[in-house]
Amino acid sequence: MSLIEIKDFIEKHDNIAVIGHVNPDGDCIGSCLGLWYLLKSLGKNAAVCIKTDDVPHHLRFIWNPLAEAQEGQVFDAYISVDCATLDRLCCLNDVFAKSEHTACIDHHRTNSGFATVNAVIPTAPAAGEIIYSLAADVFGIKPTGELADAIYTAIVSDTGGFKYSSTTSYTMRVGADLLDAGVNGTAIFKNLFDTYTKKQIDIVGDITSTLTTYFDGKVASITVTDELLESKGMRFDEIDFITNLPRSIEGVEVGVYFKKKSDEIRVSLRSGESVDVSLIAAHFGGGGHARAAGITFKCGLEEAKKLILDKLAEVL
128 vs 143, beta carbon nearer Mn ion: 128
Q: How far is the CB of 237 from Mn ion (least distance, A)?
A: 16
277 vs 307, beta carbon nearer Mn ion: 277
Reference 25, options 47, 56, 52, 66; nearest CA is: 56
Among 158, 238, 240, 253, binds Mn ion (CB under 5 A): 158
Give the separation between CA 180 and CA 177, rounded to whole angstroms: 5
What sign does the CA torsion over 27, 111, 88, 275 have? Answer: negative
Q: How far is the CB of 282 from Mn ion (least distance, A)?
A: 16
- Only one of the segments 158-166, 207-215, 231-239, 243-251 lies at the binding site for Mn ion (rule: CB under 5 A); that segment is 158-166
Ordered alpha helix ranges (H), the chain: 3-12, 26-41, 93-98, 127-133, 145-158, 169-180, 185-193, 198-208, 226-232, 277-283, 301-315
- Only one of the segments 9-17, 127-135, 294-302, 304-312 lies at the binding site for Mn ion (rule: CB under 5 A); that segment is 127-135
Interaction with Mn ion in 249-308: which residues (CB under 5 A)? none
Interaction with Mn ion in 23-62: which residues (CB under 5 A)? 27
82 vs 240, beta carbon nearer Mn ion: 82
Ordered alpha helix ranges (H), 99-184: 127-133, 145-158, 169-180
Q: How far is the CB of 244 from Mn ion (least distance, A)?
A: 15
Size of interface with Mn ion, in residues (CB under 5 A): 4
107 vs 260, beta carbon nearer Mn ion: 107
Neighbours of 84 (CB within 10 A): 27
Torsion angle (degrees, nearest 10) of CA 69, 70, 73, 75:
0
Q: Using alpha carbons, list the distances in angstroms from residue 255 to 115, 223, 234, 268.
A: 33, 11, 23, 8
Q: How far is the CB of 226 from Mn ion (least distance, A)?
A: 25
Does position 68 interact with Mn ion (CB under 5 A)? The reply is no
Extended strands (E) in 34-98:
45-48, 77-81
Q: Are 21 and 55 in contact (CB under 8 A)?
A: no
Q: What angle do CA 93, 94, 97 make, to 5 degrees?
A: 85
Q: Are strands 45-48 and 15-19 parallel, antiparallel or unpaired?
A: parallel
- Only one of the segments 35-43, 48-56, 124-132, 176-184 lies at the binding site for Mn ion (rule: CB under 5 A); that segment is 124-132
Among 21, 32, 46, 82, binds Mn ion (CB under 5 A): 82
Q: How far is the CB of 196 from Mn ion (least distance, A)?
A: 23
82 vs 238, beta carbon nearer Mn ion: 82
87 vs 230, beta carbon nearer Mn ion: 87
**Residue numbers at the binding site for Mn ion (CB under 5 A):** 27, 82, 127, 158
